Amino acid sequence: MQFKKSFSSSLVDGGHDKMASWNEGTDCCSWEGVTCDSSTGRVVDLDISCQQMDGSSPPDFRYCRQFQSTLPHNNFISQYFPHLWGLNLAYNHFNGSTIPSDIVKLTELTRLNLSHTGFSGKIPSEFSHLKKLVSLYLSFNQVAFNGDEDYSNVLANATNLSELWLQEVNMSNIKPSSFSNLSHSMKHLDVSDCGLAGKFPESVFRLPHMESIRLKRNKEFLVQLPRSNWSAASLKVLEVSSTNCFGKFLPDSIGNLKSLSVLSLDDNFLNGTIPSWLLALPSMEILGLSYNQLTGEIPEIRSSSLRYLYLDHNRLSGLAPTSSTTLKRWNLQWMDLSSNELSGIMLNYICYLASLMVIDLSNNNLSGSIPECLFNLTELSVLNLRTNNFHGPIPSSVFGNMSKLTHVDLNGNKLGGSLPQSLATCKMLEVLDVGNNNVDCRKR
């Protein structure tokens, strides 16, 4: 109870207060957010992170209501909970205060989550004393390591560290060679938006248990993907967008990553053609290759798991011939092929993609008429065909069953006729742009 009183807080927007169940005369092991060791009765896990309002697990933090708090820095946790294995303060707001040095006294900690807490300043150098850490979350704070030595010491001492989440931590003074000291137990590494520069060690891609590597938005980070010896059995997520990822294109060795579900290489210096094996990876769900210099045809999609395909802002010229049988196996929900050099008649492909929610083919050289078969896409919410060469009337029945449409952009084509009355069935429609055509928009 003394800890609760010392924890000065106010809830934002009427949020859920886990400490409301912390009442005198009750067993602390029954309090929300508190876990005790069954044999000793000691409190070993403290979770006062923000909680989703309906109490579901895991919480969806988009709907989180935060504490706005100030923390005492002297023994504020170690005095009351000296035996903690896990501490979670995520998704609270501590008003720009520094990370309490008191935390480093919790030498039994294996899990520490301080993400989205509003901390600022330097990360205590004594973090290197937390030798039993398995997971460390510091993302989305205005904090920085004192220097390369402090960071290296954390990695050197925490020999069982398997999760390191540091997105938006200032690491501009960290040498990339420090990553060579990552534990062989490492599974998840996130150093996105950290201001890193220099050459990322290739050895990290070969760590035997690695499941996710996120290096995105470090523009001066030199990343070369290995040509062999990936941690092929386990890697599921590889995000290297907006780095200096050099090399003509992906090495064929990526084709051996059968568990890979997310590959993001947007905004790099990739050129050449897309290899056919890339769209055949059996577990791929999200593929991002936007803002590169890719040319040639888009290979046939042979992966039925692919949901999100981002190939916009390249120089791609078309889709490889694909049978209707293959098209029906596609489960695409989002396809962005905008700002390429696509030409000819392509929309008949789309008619087979029954799960499609967003299609963006804007800023290409596509031609022909809009086929009536589009009305089969009952899940479609966004249709963007802006700045192409489509001609003829907008089919009168095309919008009849598309009740989920929110955005339709047909601006800058050669369409004529009048607006179809079937648009009236699109109750969710927010944007309709048929400008720079010859469409008669007068009410009839």
Within-domain flag for 197? no
Position 199 in a domain:
no
CB 366 within 8 A of CB 384: no
Domain hosting residue 83, numbered range? 1-174
Confirm if 362 and 385 have CB atoms less than 8 A apart.
yes
Residues paired with 158 in a beta bridge: none
Reference 263, options 251, 254, 273; nearest CA is: 254
Which domain CATH number covers 165?
A: 3.80.10.10
pLDDT in tens, 318-344: 887 677 777 777 889 999 999 999 998
Enter the DSSP assignment of 261. -
Q: Is residue 194 part of a domain?
A: no
- The residue type of 91 is Y
256 φ/ψ angles, rounded to the nearest 5 degrees: -90, -5
DSSP string for residues in 308-366: EEE--SSEEEEEPP--HHHHTT---SEEE--SS--EE--HHHHTT-TT--EEE--SSEE
pLDDT for the residue numbered 60: 46
The answer to the question of residue 148 being in a domain is yes
- Residue 75: pLDDT band with limits 50, 70, 90: low
Cβ neighbours of residue 269 closer than 8 Å, sequence gap 6 or more: 244, 245, 246, 292, 293
**Considering its fold, how many domains does the chain have in total?**
1
Q: What is the pLDDT of residue 168?
A: 96
CA distance 184 to 439: 63
* pLDDT at site 54: 34
pTM: 0.89
Q: Report yes or no on 291 lying in a domain.
A: no
Residue 388's pLDDT is what?
96
153: pLDDT strictly greater than 80: yes
Assigned domain for 112 exists = yes
Interacting residues of 187 by C-beta distance below 8 A, sequence separation 6+: 162, 163, 209, 210, 211, 212, 234
Asked if residue 418 belongs to a domain, the reply is no
On whether residue 229 sits in a domain, the answer given is no
